[in-house]
Chain A
Amino acid sequence: MRSYLIAASIAIASVAAALAVGAIMLLALGANPIDGYKTMFTAAFGSADGLASTAVKAIPLMLVGVGICIAFRANVINIGGEGQMVVGGLLATSVALALPNAPAVVLLPLILCAGIIGGAFWGSIPGALKAHYNVSEILSTIMLNIVAVQLMNFLLRGPLIDPGEIERGTRIPQTARLPEAADLPMLSETLNLHSGILIAIAAAIGAWVLLWRTGLGFRLRSVGLNPAAARYAGIPVKRNIIIAMTLSGAMSGLAGAILVFGSESHRMVTDGSTMGFTGSAGFNGIVVALFGALHPLWTIPSSFLFGGMLVGANSLQRVAQVPSALIIALNGLIVVFVVSTEWHRKRLQNQVQTQASQKNENEQSASDHGNAKS
């Protein structure tokens, strides 16, 4: 209980500290920080429309963040969310293009599965490299991000390009309008909110169940906390590292598929980098997971906060005429504050624990003597 309070107060304090530094930057840009923040908050959380936009922005962040949590619990760090989103999106897109006449009940599950499989495959590669050849997953996932972008550029400029783009000669690297049967169902007729948010929340809850209620989660966590003891107990360490990266990649791949089929254009588009497709969700998801204390359930509110900041940033840019890069800086500041307060949280927790164990030890020897006398 106490550790939750410590974690929550530190999270709030880091947001406050980041906003304070951001206020100085706003002042330097000649904008009134109070008005600016009010604009942001109203845009992101002040109306049903705003909340819907925030939720849509939160979806990929949440899914990638949940994947980061799973990997982290097995002590692997997945920086490859970008690439896994791209590959998941590509595979889902290919499936939809291949089945233009399939009904929604068939096509929707298929494209979601394709996204999961694509991301899982892309995540399993660094997992296997780490498990068998001890290749740092941080390096291999980043490298694979680059490979995935080039794959996307190749496919969207060639095999998957909209035939109309070739006819017109514009050759914009994007697919044709994907089959309508694959459009993610909208949750409301008036709001621009699709069902991806439900999938993301379900994934977060599912990840929590997996990690703390199943044998697989038990093994993943034991491998993450103490691989030597896990090995002695007969838990296959290598296999579980691969599983962790595969599941983590699957979450990002699902995010990629939802990004494509929940988009307003209902096409997969590239601007030549991952940014254009993912909006950096593969990286920002790491931030979201860190802010959510690497716990899948805390990742849900955390992704709403960061999704809201993305929405707020756009309106701040319009209203106060400040560059939206300011928000990227704010995101970064929050992370810096969260991460730098992490050691403080650990210290507080250790203190509580050491005191408890000291007390425990002394009570034990006291009861030893009690037993001896009786």
Chain B
Amino acid sequence: MNSVSASIQSDRQPMLEMRGITKRFPGVIANDNVSFDVLPGEVHTLLGENGAGKSTLMKILYGLYQPDEGDVLINGEKVSLQSPSDAIDHRIGMIHQHFMLVSSLTVAENVALGLSSTRGPITDLKQVAKKIKSLSDRYGLHVDPDAYIWQLAVGERQRVEIIKALYRDVQLLVLDEPTAVLTPQEVDDFFVILREMTSDGRGLIFISHKMNEVMELSDRISVLRLGRLVGTTTPQETTREALAQMMVGREVDNTREERPATIGRTALSINRLSVGGDRGVDALIDFSLDVQQGEIVGLAGVSGNGQRELAEAISGLRPIKSGSISLFHDGNPKPIGGLGPKAVREAGLSFVPEERMRDGAIGEFSVADNMVLHNHHSTRFSRGGFLNFGEIHRHSQKLVDDFQVKTPSIDTPAKNLSGGNIQKMIIARELDSDPEVLIAAQPTRGVDIGAAEYIHARLVAARNAGTAILVISEDLDEVMLLADRIAVICQGRMMGVVDRIDASREQLGLMMAGVTD
């Protein structure tokens, strides 16, 4: 990384300057006199917990909010950003955590959306596809312009977002937690792409929670806490621990209490499972995996290698082609493949879905309603078809307290909670029934450090209590932190299972890439 010394930096004109930005919402100051700048060819990282004011600052930059005080300068000139189209006119791009893609359209169509065509009113998709191909080759993005978005895995969709930005020739790109969906090797490739972009003189604003990436990629790092800028530093001047402390204002515990797994009997057995995918190719091929009582098995893999289909097959949402999935009750197998989610839940399986807002919660429903989504019809919460609100409220209040879900009240709509608290709510609901088996897909993706730590602790506690847990995660750090055994999936096939103690990142990375000995 070309580390630019401070003296040279001050000579160059910043491509973006945000000076003394203050943004107030009723009762709260989201940004309090924040100053932030980006030089050409620089990666400037913005670090902070959820609610620290990062997204407010970025929304101001993207024209979604207007600051109450302070100025935004682009190339030294004061600009007024009233809407995203103003921002786009100034060649500012943003890749959101939730991708802004139309899933029923192809990659090329998505890229062409909203752009004027060389052929007037008729979109010249061939031309667009050609340019996508050349950009894709140049930056190593491996994107097929004719693929439909719904066919693509999360990691691939992200590369489409990058293509979109490159296609529009943005000079300043905001990346909101872009590496959450990538393998270590992919992250390396991704960083090569980003460096390619900065070497063209583009500026990048990188938002991430992952310290090692932040340290590797950034030229400068600014930390926000409670709406205020805590400080700006460089990777040379700081350490991961110091950054984490700046961010949360306290020491972060990133080690796991060693407690050997008290492995019991097999609780979940997947045997030679094959499952169809959405693209006509089988998403899982001859996949076998056992999970025992009292252990956490981590399933590592690059996004889009069959993890989603596996979770759907186990939870009863996706029909299986061949093979079997069984839960065990007192040693007797009960096949659950293709039974549907209700029967699977009744057999003792719980799941934390990957897309928490789409599959895990109903945003408009209150926290209390969400807590009983799957068992509102049980005799405990329902009498003669009528809901027993007293009991539902008592139960939800208890779960909210037990799992430290921070919400103004249990009557608050779930969508008003932060991502971390929605996830805690879902974990509370899923662990409450003392499941025999828990499937947790991406349990802490996009969740702030505090909540992630807490969720990990609860998963380990459930394991210690004898639950068999399968954690499906694209975050290798998370898998290595949590799992007793690590399984690796690649292109729908089981690459092998290793004990965590014997596992190295390099070995797992090779397995994730499909390299076998």
Chain A residues with CB under 8 Å of chain B are: 213-216, 218-219, 221-222, 225-226, 228-236, 353, 355-369, 372-373
Contacts and interface: CB of A to CB of B under 8 A. Distances in A.
Interface string B217-228: 000000001110
B28 A365 contact: no
A213 B28 contact: no
29 contacts: A213-B387, A214-B387, A215-B377, A225-B364, A226-B363, A228-B359, A229-B373, A232-B341, A232-B359, A234-B340, A234-B344, A234-B374, A353-B416, A357-B416, A357-B417, A360-B412, A360-B416, A361-B50, A361-B418, A362-B29, A362-B51, A364-B406, A365-B50, A365-B52, A366-B226, A367-B406, A368-B248, A368-B450, A372-B249
A218 B382 CA distance: 11
Contact of A365 (B51, B346, B412): B51
B25 A355 contact: yes
Contacts of A233: 341, 373-374
A230 B412 CA distance: 19
Contacts of B353: 232
B396 to A, nearest CB: 14
Contacts, number: 123
Contact of A359 (B28, B49, B50, B421): B28
A226 B373 CA distance: 11
A226 B356 CA distance: 12
Contacts of A218: 369, 376, 387
B262 to A, nearest CB: 30
Contacts of A214: 385-387
B51 A364 contact: yes
**Chain A interface main SS type:** helix
A366 B345 CA distance: 37
Interface in B216-254: 225-227, 248-250
A358 B49 contact: no
Contact of A369 (B28, B226, B341, B355): B226
Given A225-B364, A228-B358, A362 B376 contact: no
Given A213-B387, A359-B28, 9 more contacts: A214-B386, A221-B365, A225-B364, A229-B362, A232-B341, A232-B360, A356-B416, A360-B416, A368-B49
Contact of B26 (A221, A226, A359, A367): A359
A222 B366 CA distance: 11
Interface string B376-394: 1100001001110000000
Nearest to A209: B386
A229 B51 contact: no
B510 interface: no
B386 A215 contact: yes
Given A232-B317, A234-B342, A359-B25, A213 B386 contact: yes
Contact of B341 (A216, A234, A373): A234
Contacts of A222: 362, 365, 369, 373
Nearest to B374: A233
B421 A225 contact: no
B27 interface: yes
A221 B370 CA distance: 12
Interface string B314-335: 0101000000000000000000
B226 A362 contact: yes
A366 to B, nearest CB: 6
B30 interface: yes
B342 A236 contact: yes
A360 B414 CA distance: 12
Nearest 5 A/B pairs, CB to CB:
A234-B342, A365-B51, A361-B51, A357-B416, A233-B374
A353 B360 CA distance: 21
A236 B51 CA distance: 36
B482 interface: no
B385 A215 contact: yes
A228 B344 CA distance: 16
A7 to B, nearest CB: 16
B62 interface: no
Contacts of A215: 376-377, 382, 385-387
A216 B358 CA distance: 21
Contacts of A363: 28
B361 interface: yes
Nearest to A216: B385
A78 B227 CA distance: 48
Contact of A229 (B346, B359, B408): B359
Contacts of A234: 340-342, 344-346, 374
B417 to A, nearest CB: 8
A218 B406 CA distance: 24
Contacts of B30: 358, 362
Contact of B249 (A236, A362, A369): A369
Contacts of A225: 362-365
B387 A372 contact: no
Among A221, A235, A365, find the residue whose CB has the most chain B CB atoms closer than 10 A. Answer: A365
Contact of A372 (B248, B382, B386): B248
B7 to A, nearest CB: 36
Nearest to B52: A365
B351 interface: yes
A218 B378 CA distance: 13
Contacts of A221: 365
Contacts of A231: 317, 341, 359
B385 A230 contact: no
A213 B376 CA distance: 12
Nearest to B413: A353
A355 B373 contact: no
A216 B384 CA distance: 11
Contacts of B416: 353, 356-357, 360
A221 B340 CA distance: 21
A139 to B, nearest CB: 20
A136 to B, nearest CB: 16
Given A356-B416, A372-B249, A229 B226 contact: no
B351 A232 contact: yes
Contacts of A229: 358-362, 373
A373 B358 CA distance: 35
Nearest to B346: A234
B358 A226 contact: yes
A232 B363 contact: no
Nearest to B316: A234
Nearest to B373: A233
A262 B406 CA distance: 56
A251 to B, nearest CB: 19
Nearest to A210: B385
Among B25, B249, B355, find the residue whose CB has the most chain A CB atoms closer than 10 A. Answer: B25
Interface string B242-276: 00000011100000000000000000000000000
Nearest to A218: B376
A372 B250 contact: yes
A5 B290 CA distance: 57
